[in-house]
Amino acid sequence: MASNGGLNPESDDFENRPNFCIGQHDSNRFETLSDDQYRQFNFVTTPITNQHFFRRVVDLYKCHLAEREQWRQDRGLTSSQLSNQSLPAPIVPTLTNKDTSYAPSSYVGSLVAYASPWIDLCSSNPLISSISRQVLNLEVAYANFCGARSIIIPGPREDEDSRGIALYARAIQEALQVTTRANLIIHMPMYREPGLDEKAEMLSSLFADANGAEACAVKEIDLFTAWDSWHTIRSVCKYSTQLFVALRIPRRLPEKDLQDRWFAEPLHYLSIGPKTFQPNRAGHPTLTPNHQQLINHYMRLKNAPWLILCDVGPSLEDLNEAQDHLATDFPSLAEASNALKENRRPQQPPQNPYAGYMRYLERHQAPFSAMETPTLTSFQDWLQSPLQPLSDNLESATYEMFEGDPVKYDQYELAITEAMAEWKVLKKPTSQAPSNSDLIVAVAGAGRGPLVTRVLRAAEATGTAIQLWALEKNQNAYVYLLSKNEREWGGRVTVVKTDMREWQGPALKGYTAFFSKVDILVTELLGSFGDNELSPECLDGIQRHISRPHGISIPHSYTAHLSPIATPRIFADLSSRSHGDPQAFETPWVTRLHAIDFVSQKVPRHGRFQQAWEFVHPVEVSRADEFAEEEGTRFISPGGGSMTGSSGTNDHNARHCHLTFVCRTRGVTHGLAGYFESVLYAPQAAGKEPVEISILPDQIDRKSKDMVSWFPIFFPLKQPLYFPQDAELEVSMWRQTDDTKVWYEWMVEVYAWVGPETRIKVGASELHSSRKIACLM
């Protein structure tokens, strides 16, 4: 294994897999570490306050209870009478230097602040929840003052009910008001694993007594309650971009659905306790293959989460003993902090067996694939404004990027080759006079000519005599095409500068005013959703030049597909954009969706990805204007059109679909992921497969593996739409058009099955529309 450079940290390609940033948390730690302790971690947690502060707060509380009781007895009141009085809760005194050993320091970047686990923000006892809020505010404010970048706050307690969560969430929202630079990270379990509560609970018993210990009946585990709590917290905090999750990896992994759910959430840390590790034969800690897979999966996030090993030693005593001889060998926390800042790895040989095992996992990750280059990764979940394909002229670099995808052009070449070969075999007549039987091929929207090259190659491969036309409206690309025709294509191409919709057709040889027809029309006008860059309208405008009945359009047809997804990060991004951009939630965004969760299931009658609609070319029936004539009046203008004020000339390119998606577990959706597939050419010969391209997640590998030309499209929802278990999401989607523009509209309704026969409506989104930013025809 040592011979494999990829696994050797010293080798050149070592960096081609995700880095692990490994830290340590000790729930028995009550004082901040000094710089030279814990040298073998990238970072360590630090408590914000110490035992002195804890005792002060407990004393304050006990003292207050005693006073209240005395006061109640003096007045002969019952307890409930007492609670109706506006009795002030005790006010937690401000921190002093006795209450904390945490302070601004050179190594503050390697210290992750950990808020006191003994508070209970959810408590139904107003005194306890009030004291807890005060403690949290004091600690967060102090940690922020000290320069903490991350403050971890223990999640709500196990036995919280829905009321408690609202209180917890509200307290976090308040704490976010003081964190000018620090992020708040809620430490949540992946699910509430029975019998695995961590030490955090220890000190709360003092409070539990006063609170009247709540009944802790053994219940069936509901896997999604922890996620539910998190969802409430971040919803109340309005998807703050300063709010993250530290996810506790459980000993027993839950179903895939729940793992995927958390994948989409803003994971800042993964925390792993000693019980999650299992000893191998030699007694060293290891993780199960499933755990390894989970961690490898999460590590592929654009911002890979950091790892926190909890209570895995070494203990402070061990350390103090070892300190002397460690001091020279390994970097101090300050050195680690600098390394983190510069995003490089400090030299840290694994001392701790748990950390050592994690480093082993780090080395054994699969290297980054061709689809995981830094450039492609940087596009993950990054929102691109949609193009105005007909009014924007592209720059050369943009063309170059599009041309850099061999998969797409290989498929085009294959389609053109098949079409030409079949044309010959079937002995179809060309649109030319019999005396000249060259096949006439046109590439419309030729750009810098990649499809022209492919057409020429296909003609050579099939030995087809062709006349080739290249149309381009971009005057700058036109220059490039002319030069390419001289340099590379040997003048075999007729380059025309024109909007394809205004072209007069291929002029007959020797004529300028007599025209033939096109046998094969090749275009690449497709968008992420198939028709979203006006391919149907452009092809409408040129299809009169296609010869009938044999003329071919490549692509032959394309379909648009949808799937509802959860994507909290994109929702947070859009929420912050929406202040400046009122159309943010009405825009179909092109984005390389990655940290998402497909919320629906594939079930017998409904897929996870469902087809919205299809376009087939050429359209066989001519324009609708013919219908508009009537006896008595010479010509009556079409007056209708589904859109007001339009005359309906593009109505045949309008579409509507209504799709039902099935969700088994409860969750939330933030919008619809859109994809497309296209049949470039469908051979007529029996048994021949169509030549296709696809960006559908479940089809791309089969139909056009590693094709990167298109990212998916995302239709957002203004409000996250919650749905209960056994729900159905009813998606209504429109491709709308008046005579001059094309846009989309979408709406989602939620229904829940509450019995074998009964389905009730439980919610709906607004009707969204991109009309205001419509594509201009």
The SS3 assignment for 612 reads strand
Exposure string of 374-395, with b = 16+ CB inside 10 Å and e = fewer, is eebbebbbbbeebbebbeeebe
Residue type, 702: R
Considering only 123-131, 243-251, 303-311, 419-427, which stretch makes contact with its own copies by CB under 8 A?
123-131
- Nearest Cα to Cα of residue 560 among 669, 643, 650, 672: 672
**Closest distance between its own copies and the C-beta of residue 737, in Å?**
12
Task: Find the binder of its own copies among 135, 534, 566, 574 (CB under 8 A).
Answer: 135
CA distances from 93 to 53, 56, 254, 452 (A): 10, 9, 43, 77
722 binds its own copies per the rule CB under 8 A: yes
299 binds its own copies per the rule CB under 8 A: no
Tell me, what DSSP letter sits at residue 689?
P
Interaction residues for its own copies, span 161-190 (CB under 8 A): 162-163, 166-167, 169-171, 173-175, 177-178
Q: Which is nearer to its own copies, 323 or 578 (CB)?
A: 578
CA distances from 602 to 107, 418, 715 (A): 50, 34, 21
628 binds its own copies per the rule CB under 8 A: yes
- Within 8 A by CB and 6+ apart from 456, the residues are 468, 489, 492, 493
Spell out the SS3 assignment of 453-509: HHHHHHHHHHCCCEEEEEEECCHHHHHHHHHHHHHCCCCCEEEEECCHHHCCCCECC
75 binds its own copies per the rule CB under 8 A: yes
Interaction residues for its own copies, span 83-102 (CB under 8 A): 84-96
Q: Which is nearer to its own copies, 270 or 721 (CB)?
A: 721
Task: Find the binder of its own copies among 200, 624, 773, 774 (CB under 8 A).
Answer: 624
Any binding-site annotation on 675?
no
Q: Which is nearer to its own copies, 20 or 239 (CB)?
A: 239
**Closest distance between its own copies and the C-beta of residue 144, in Å?**
10
**Closest distance between its own copies and the C-beta of residue 176, in Å?**
9
Q: Using CA atoms, how far apart are residues 589 and 99, in angstroms rounded to an integer?
A: 50
Interaction residues for its own copies, span 533-552 (CB under 8 A): 536
Q: Which is nearer to its own copies, 24 or 132 (CB)?
A: 132
Task: Find the binder of its own copies among 725, 740, 772, 776 (CB under 8 A).
Answer: 725
Task: Find the binder of its own copies among 450, 564, 588, 648 (CB under 8 A).
Answer: 648
CA-derived radius of gyration, the chain: 33
- Within 8 A by CB and 6+ apart from 487, the residues are none
Considering only 204-212, 278-286, 410-418, 729-737, which stretch makes contact with its own copies by CB under 8 A?
729-737
The SS3 assignment for 60 reads helix
Any binding-site annotation on 190?
no
Exposure string of 553-577, with b = 16+ CB inside 10 Å and e = fewer, is bbbbbbbbbbbbbbbbbbbbbbbeb
**Closest distance between its own copies and the C-beta of residue 734, in Å?**
7
**Closest distance between its own copies and the C-beta of residue 777, in Å?**
15
80 binds its own copies per the rule CB under 8 A: no
> Active-site residue numbers?
524, 533
584 binds its own copies per the rule CB under 8 A: no
Interaction residues for its own copies, span 694-713 (CB under 8 A): none
CB neighbourhood size of 72 (10 A): 17
**Closest distance between its own copies and the C-beta of residue 722, in Å?**
5
CB neighbourhood size of 500 (10 A): 23
Residue type, 356: G
Q: Which is nearer to its own copies, 231 or 408 (CB)?
A: 231
Q: Using CA atoms, how far apart are residues 108 and 44, in angstroms rounded to an integer?
A: 10
407 binds its own copies per the rule CB under 8 A: no
Q: Using CA atoms, how far apart are residues 748 and 584, in angstroms rounded to an integer?
A: 18
Any binding-site annotation on 38?
no
Q: Give the binding-site size for its own copies (rule: CB under 8 A).
A: 102
**Closest distance between its own copies and the C-beta of residue 324, in Å?**
36
Q: Could you tell me the end-to-end alpha-carbon distance of the chain, in angstroms, rounded to an integer?
A: 59
Interaction residues for its own copies, span 222-261 (CB under 8 A): 228, 232, 235-236, 238
Asked whether 739 and 650 are in contact (CB, 8 A), the reply is yes
Between 739 and 768, how does the x/- string for binding to its own copies read (CB under 8 A)? ------x-x-xx-x-xx----xxxxx-xx-
**Closest distance between its own copies and the C-beta of residue 704, in Å?**
22
Q: Which is nearer to its own copies, 130 or 431 (CB)?
A: 130
Q: Which is nearer to its own copies, 100 or 110 (CB)?
A: 100
Annotated binding site for S-adenosyl-L-methionine: 399, 408-409, 472, 499-500
